[in-house]
Amino acid sequence: MCGFVGFTGLREQREAILHRMADRIIHRGPDMEGYHISGDDPRTAIALGFRRLSIIDLAAGKQPMYNEDGTVVCVFNGEIYNFMDLRTELQAKGHIFKTHCDTEVIIHGYEEYGTALAAKLRGMFAFAVWDTKTNEMYGARDIFGIKPFYYYKKGKEFMFGSEIKSFLSHPNFEKELDEDMIPLYLSYEYSPDERTIFKNVFKLPGAHCFTYKNGELKVERYYKIEYKIEDDKSLEYWEDAITKEFTESVSMHQIADVEVGCFLSSGVDSS
């Protein structure tokens, strides 16, 4: 499952705060932990933490992960199903890989494609990339919003993570109930938009990416599903097309260095 935490800004006991935030989500990643702290200026300071559940490249897939010269660092939760194809494409462009982990494709993909990277990824993912050369952060969430990404933004304060509970360990997090969300939560039993039950805490919507620099956060959509009705195709055509797509999708979901399991609940959600 994995999980990450992070925050910007310069403050005392950054390392202790970061460790406490990561410990809040240890259930997401009991196999390994990793941390990155850099910057001596409030405008360029960054702290990243990670808890890992090992799936691919068990030995070398430690996070946070860096590019060759350490100027780009990434934390990532999820799986990139087309990472082998992207890896081959990036190697042809001169990028050198040190691992067989899909995380490294995000790092070199960012170096090559910048903020256009998210649209090239096929998978379930949430990630944040920090570029020390530009002091800019770039992150994204998969098109269906399978993997979680929450962030807290109030004034110059910016923190993010896989679960809101990690923010509770940050001294500058103000835990405030957003009373306007109570009717929505009681009606739907979840928050139907990017807001959450806490003030100033938001979900990065599925199919959206963001950039953060000098205290400015910009969120934008990178993918939009388009439906095209084709009435001229036969039932047999669609049966073959669905079987082909389903078989390919299952095959891509089985890429792992550990055993893969699947299940059907036999309920309405699996029909």
| Active-site amino acid positions | 2
| Per-residue burial over 67-92, b = 16 or more CB atoms within 10 Å of its CB, e = otherwise | beeeebbbbbbbbbbbbeebbebbee
Q: Are 4 and 49 in contact (CB under 8 A)?
A: yes
Q: What are the residues facing 78 on neighbouring strands?
A: 125
CB atoms inside a 10 Å sphere around CB 116: 12
For residue 64, whether the previous peptide bond is cis, meaning omega lies within 30 degrees of 0, is yes
- State the Cα–Cα distance between residues 197 and 180, nearest whole angstrom: 8
Q: What are the residues facing 177 on neighbouring strands?
A: 198
Strand positions, DSSP E, 55-117:
65-66, 72-80
Q: Cα 207 to the chain's mean position, in Å?
A: 11
Q: What are the residues facing 33 on neighbouring strands?
A: 51
Give the H or E element holding residue 146. Answer: none
Strand positions, DSSP E, 53-189:
65-66, 72-80, 123-131, 136-141, 150-154, 157-161
DSSP, collapsed to helix, strand or coil, labels residue 99 as coil
| Nearest CA-CA partner of 71 in 12, 133, 113 | 133
Q: Are 107 and 65 in contact (CB under 8 A)?
A: yes
